[in-house]
Amino acid sequence: MKPNPANPASVPPVKVVLVEDKPGVRESWVKLIDSLAGFSCVQAYASGEEAVRVIPALNPDVVLMDIFLPRMSGIECTARLKLQLPKIQILILTAVEDDELVFMALEAGADGYLLKRTKPEDLRAAMLDVLGGGAPMTSEIARRVVESFRRASKQQKPEVHLSAREEEVLILLSKGYSNKEIASQLAIGTETVGSHLKHIYEKMRVRSRAEAVARYMTSKKT
């Protein structure tokens, strides 16, 4: 059963794990996460190797992942964790606004991409969003993603043939609906929604909700 941070008094807090190599930054973010209503930083790791080894057994609700880690990068760590825990929600948290890194992270399976200067209330909102099936991105990052897809679509625009139902699912996904909400709107089961999403990802050649939404938004603007 997924936690409901909207009513923190009645349910356990959302379990958050932080992966950040800089001690001072790590301590600050742990304190910040613990200060957010309905959230608890249950563990913080300084390396991707340690995170990959321990996080699967811990099975947290959300992982906040830095990109620039020693040896194993946050992108590689994200990809490895997604292989072990496909449903885990991973938000990239970094100071860098690099287009190539954004897409590498999304291709690795990241569910959102936030800048470290994100305000505490926006961080909490982003974690609630990703738990509800959304794909939160800092506005600057979202703009870069859309612009990149727009450029790519002008150079090469392969046709994507979605079924009518898949198109409906994608439209609701782009509006920020969770799998449960999509199922309710379309009067189908959540497992069926998951199956449609899998087919959508395969047809669009994407690996995450964020990437699917960005490509859909771009296709409607070009």
Please report, to the nearest 10 degrees, the dihedral formed by the alpha carbons of residues 209, 211, 214, 219 taken in order. Answer: -110
Beta-bridge partners for 114: 93
What kind of fold does domain 153-221 have according to CATH?
Answer: Arc Repressor Mutant, subunit A (1.10.10)
Residue among 133, 113, 119, 120 nearest 64 (CA): 113
Q: Which residues pair with 43 in a beta bridge?
A: 17
CATH topology agreement for domains 14-140 and 153-221: no
Domain limits, the chain: 14-140, 153-221
Per-residue pLDDT of the chain (222 residues; tens, 9 = 90+): 455 555 545 678 999 999 999 999 999 999 999 999 999 999 999 999 999 999 999 999 999 999 989 889 999 999 999 989 988 999 998 887 676 777 788 888 899 888 888 899 999 999 999 998 888 887 777 776 666 666 655 555 556 788 889 989 988 888 778 888 899 999 999 999 989 998 998 888 887 777 787 777 766 655
What is 14-140's CATH number, 3.90.1010.10, 3.40.640.10, 3.40.50.2300, 3.90.25.10?
3.40.50.2300
The whole-number pLDDT of residue 65 equals 96
pLDDT of residue 101: 79
Element containing residue 154 per DSSP (H, E): helix 139-155
The per-residue pLDDT for 33 is 96
The CA-based angle 47-53-55, given to 5 degrees, is: 85
CA-angle at 62, arms to 83 and 8, nearest 5°: 150
Question: What per-residue confidence (pLDDT) applies to 96?
Answer: 74
Q: How far, in Å, CA of 143 to CA of 129, rounded?
A: 18
Structure tokens at 146: 């859309």
Q: Say what the pLDDT of residue 1 is.
A: 42
End-to-end CA distance of the chain: 40
CA 220 to chain centre: 22
